[in-house]
Amino acid sequence: MWNDAFPSFLIGLREGLEAGLIVSILVATLVRGEERGRLPQVWTGVLAAVGLSLSFGAILTFTSANLSATAQEAFGGCLSVIAVAFVTAMVFWMRRNARNLSGEIKEKVTAALAMGSGMLILTSFLAVGREGLETALFIWTTAQTAGESTGPLVGAAVGLVLAGALCWGLYRRVLKINLTRFFTWTGVGLIVIAAGVLAYGLRDLQEGGVLPGGTAFAVDLSGSIDQNSWYATLVQGVLNLTTQMTWLQVVAYVLYLGTVMTLFVRGLRAPKPIAPKPVAAKPAPKSAEAETAETAETAADVDADAEAPARGRRWVVPVAVVAVPAVVAGVVIASSDGKQAAAATVSVSPTECGKGFTAPQPGQQTFQMHNTGPQTSEVYLVNPATNAVYGEIEGLAPGTTRALVATIGSGQYAWRCVPTGGKAVTSAAVTVSGGGSVAAVLPVSEQDLAGPLAQYKQFVDAGLATLQTQTVKLAADLHGGDLNTAKADWLTAHLQYSSLGAAYGTFEDFDKKINGRADGLPQGVNDPGFQGFHRIEYGLWHGQSAAVLAPVADQLASDVTGLRKAFPSQDFDPSDLPLRTHEILENTLQFELTADTDEGSGTNLATAQANIAGTQELLTVLRPLIAKRSPELLGTVDTELTRFSGLLKQAQQSNGSWTPVQQLDPTLRAELNGSLGQLLEDLSPIPDLLEIRKSA
């Protein structure tokens, strides 16, 4: 935790001191100008700026918490890059303005006093708010990098408290600080830290799919260095350098560090113009408060005159900063003799499951799982009391080693090894204390899904019986030459079929016969292989005769009868059931909301509504399992289902007919697409949540 605190401590100290100096100068200027009664206006602006900064941090936290895993990576990566830009700009701004900070603030205060109380509040708000927003963004980014918030928050708090104490000391003239030197060295430190944050942010963007090269590693020391060791943890926490870095990370790190550090150091070497010294009269004595406002400026000017090192040494700092981490890494690799730390390797086998496992530290940990047995195994990190899973590896072959990354909190942990064809073996449990609560997955077994599967198959079987009757009636309409009734009965039967969840091979080859499309057929809609619902739709809405369509309807009724007979004996993998909650509506987004399957009836939105009904049936049978594992997920899904259904109703006309997708109001169409996209995002965790695991 403490290694993750240093970057936030540094940013808290530096930004806190910068904001504190501004406030001190504001207060001192008012006191000297006999305007003590206006101090509450300064504190009003300061408190407003603090509130804005806290709100900004909360927005960042809760926004990322509501995103998917991939979106979180992309979101965090973008903000990391933005944070680096802000910090870089701040470092150079303070290097340039430290000497004149007091004078600039006093000029702004004088102007604000002349314009009224509102301007004074705004001046203090803007002066502190900029530093507050930068601090919130950088601390949030540091917490994301560390994977935990305690260390960064503690570090930032200590830095801010220390900055407040220093500002108080400067105001009371208890302390004298060489501000130019202070901001120079903290600037060097922040540039090094920002280089690591940039590399980490680019890695997040690669993992989020925004940038390529996520598997092209320039550095991979995971086989030589135990990343859980104290020295690796320290380097990662302070410098954000990891045992695995892609080419993009390494190139960006070196270019940023070399370029920015060189420009920063070169700016420090610029000689200060020598002005002639006027003969000054003896100054009148000043009060302590008046002198306070000039303390920082005087200290900075003295230091600027004292610093004039030779230009030949300007490359020392950037070269050293780039070279030292490389040298340290080389020494560590050489001293480790290329061997993995023994404590990082855990055995997997029926006889040695969990051998080498000791109580880990809280936080994100990586375990090297080595299969010492003769069979391929699955391995799970579990809570032995509840069977909750914290991490897993599938298909670990004999003699191989793979990394398992898991977040450790307070509680009991054990390894469960499940060899192919063998029984599960659980290691001795260890107890971890000092960490927070960690989310885990309650495993699902085939037996758990047996009941929901039986319910769903019963629903489908009953639906097929209804569909069989409806298709027979459709054929009778066409044999009788009643095209208008056939259109209505076609829609009724097609919606019934669409509500049964015929997605991704649920009905095997029957789906192609019953609901196949003309796409890909040599002759398109005129191809003899184009049959089923969409063939009849094309004929009904393109003026074909009942005599032409009657044989097609007979074949449809025959195929539905065949499906009804075959369905009870069809192989339905229980693990496919959770997938249907997502896949049915994937088809809806791909085919119905694009009108890709419209052959003239314009009823795609009615089909979308039938797909929603099928999805709701699946959620009904799976609801007890989901509620045990993620009750809040059901609330989110139900809300978005209601929203999407409401939007669909807006497209239904008063006579019950449906507006074709192509004729929808552009705003409503965009809302439908957005709502269904969000619903798919909400449903996406269910397959993983209800995945069958052998650890159950």
Tokens of 345: 């390797």
Share of the chain above pLDDT 70, in %: 65
Q: Coil, helix or strand for 552?
A: helix
Q: How confident is the model at residue 412 (pLDDT cuts 50, 70, 90)?
A: very high
Structure-model confidence comparison of residues 132 and 85, the more confident one: 85
The reply to whether 381 and 312 lie within a common domain is no
Measure the CA–CA gap between 330 and 336, rounded to whole angstroms.
10
Q: Total domain count for the chain? A: 3
Domain assignment present for residue 694? The answer is no
Q: How confident is the model at residue 549 (pLDDT cuts 50, 70, 90)?
A: very high
Query: Do residues 179 and 296 touch, judged by C-beta distance below 8 A?
Result: yes
Give the pLDDT score at 279: 46
The reply to whether 25 and 152 lie within a common domain is yes
Query: Do residues 523 and 483 touch, judged by C-beta distance below 8 A?
Result: no
Helices (H) then strands (E): counts for the chain: 21, 10
Measure the CA–CA gap between 426 and 434, rounded to whole angstroms.
24
Give the pLDDT score at 303: 40
The conformation of residue 444, written as its DSSP 8-state character, comes to B
The pLDDT tens digits of the residues spanning 441-468 come to 888 888 999 999 999 999 999 999 999 9
Share of the chain above pLDDT 90, in %: 33
Give the pLDDT score at 125: 73
Residues 6+ apart with CB under 8 A from 296: 21, 25, 98, 101, 102, 170, 177, 179
The conformation of residue 394, written as its DSSP 8-state character, comes to E
**Beta partners for residue 347, in sequence order:** 370
Measure the CA–CA gap between 152 and 302, rounded to whole angstroms.
35
The reply to whether 654 and 518 lie within a common domain is yes
Give the pLDDT score at 81: 77
Give the pLDDT score at 676: 94
Q: Using CB atoms within 10 A of its CB, is residue 79 exposed (0-12), middle (13-18) or buried (19+)?
A: buried
The reply to whether 530 and 473 lie within a common domain is yes
Domain assignment present for residue 493? The answer is yes
The reply to whether 252 and 105 lie within a common domain is yes
Give the pLDDT score at 474: 96
pLDDT over threshold 80, residue 53: no
The reply to whether 120 and 261 lie within a common domain is yes
The reply to whether 520 and 379 lie within a common domain is no
Domain assignment present for residue 174? The answer is yes
Give the pLDDT score at 203: 78
Domain assignment present for residue 99? The answer is yes
- CA torsion sign, 211 to 212 to 218 to 221? positive
The alpha-helical segments, DSSP class H, found in 313-414 are: 316-336
Domain range for 554: 446-689
Structure-model confidence comparison of residues 171 and 680, the more confident one: 680
Domain assignment present for residue 280? The answer is no
Q: What is the separation of C-alpha 561 from the centre of its chain, rounded to a whole number of angstroms?
A: 48
The pLDDT tens digits of the residues spanning 465-494 come to 999 999 999 999 999 999 999 999 999 999
Query: Do residues 117 and 38 touch, judged by C-beta distance below 8 A?
Result: yes
Measure the CA–CA gap between 194 and 91, rounded to whole angstroms.
11
pLDDT over threshold 60, residue 551: yes
Measure the CA–CA gap between 226 and 4, rounded to whole angstroms.
18
Side chain identity at residue 608, one-letter code: A
For strands 401-408 and 411-419, give the pairing: unpaired
CATH number at residue 369: 2.60.40.420
pLDDT over threshold 50, residue 326: no
Span of 178-192, 273-287, 354-368 with lowest mean pLDDT: 273-287
- List the Cα angle 611/613/615 in 5-degree steps: 70
Measure the CA–CA gap between 664 and 670, rounded to whole angstroms.
9
Mean model confidence pLDDT for the chain:
77
**Residue that is last in its domain, among 300, 329, 358:** 329
Q: In this structure, what are the phi and psi dihedrals at residue 221, rounded to the nearest 5 degrees?
A: -105, 15
Side chain identity at residue 182, one-letter code: F
Give the pLDDT score at 146: 54
Measure the CA–CA gap between 161 and 174, rounded to whole angstroms.
17
For strands 430-432 and 411-419, give the pairing: antiparallel
Domain assignment present for residue 78? The answer is yes
Q: What is the separation of C-alpha 4 from the centre of its chain, rounded to a whole number of angstroms?
A: 20
Q: What is the separation of C-alpha 501 from the centre of its chain, rounded to a whole number of angstroms?
A: 31
Domain assignment present for residue 143? The answer is yes
Q: Return the exposure string of 394-431: e unless at least 16 CB atoms fall within 10 Å of the residue's CB, then b.
A: eebeeeeebebebbbbebebbbbbbbeeeebbbbebee
Give the pLDDT score at 297: 44
Give the pLDDT score at 336: 41
Structure-model confidence comparison of residues 177 and 341, the more confident one: 177
Q: Using CB atoms within 10 A of its CB, is residue 296 exposed (0-12), middle (13-18) or buried (19+)?
A: buried
Measure the CA–CA gap between 247 and 394, rounded to whole angstroms.
29
Measure the CA–CA gap between 441 and 301, rounded to whole angstroms.
61
**Residue that is last in its domain, among 407, 432, 457:** 432
The reply to whether 427 and 454 lie within a common domain is no
The conformation of residue 408, written as its DSSP 8-state character, comes to E
The pLDDT tens digits of the residues spanning 327-374 come to 544 444 444 443 333 346 899 999 989 998 988 888 888 899 999 999
Give the pLDDT score at 378: 92
The pLDDT tens digits of the residues spanning 590-610 come to 999 999 999 999 999 999 999
pLDDT over threshold 60, residue 301: no
The pLDDT tens digits of the residues spanning 561-597 come to 999 999 888 878 888 889 888 889 998 999 999 999 9
Domain assignment present for residue 440? The answer is no
Q: Count other C-beta atoms under 10 Å from residue 541's C-beta.
A: 17
The reply to whether 428 and 450 lie within a common domain is no
**3-state class percentages of the chain: helix first, strand second, coil last, to nearest 5:** 65, 10, 25
Measure the CA–CA gap between 366 and 404, rounded to whole angstroms.
6
Tokens of 171: 């105001």
Give the pLDDT score at 288: 41
The pLDDT tens digits of the residues spanning 11-25 come to 666 667 666 766 776
What is the model's pTM? 0.51
CATH number at residue 475: 1.20.1420.20
The reply to whether 63 and 212 lie within a common domain is yes
The reply to whether 188 and 247 lie within a common domain is yes
**Beta partners for residue 88, in sequence order:** none
Side chain identity at residue 201, one-letter code: G
The reply to whether 576 and 474 lie within a common domain is yes
486: nearest Cα among 498, 499, 470: 470
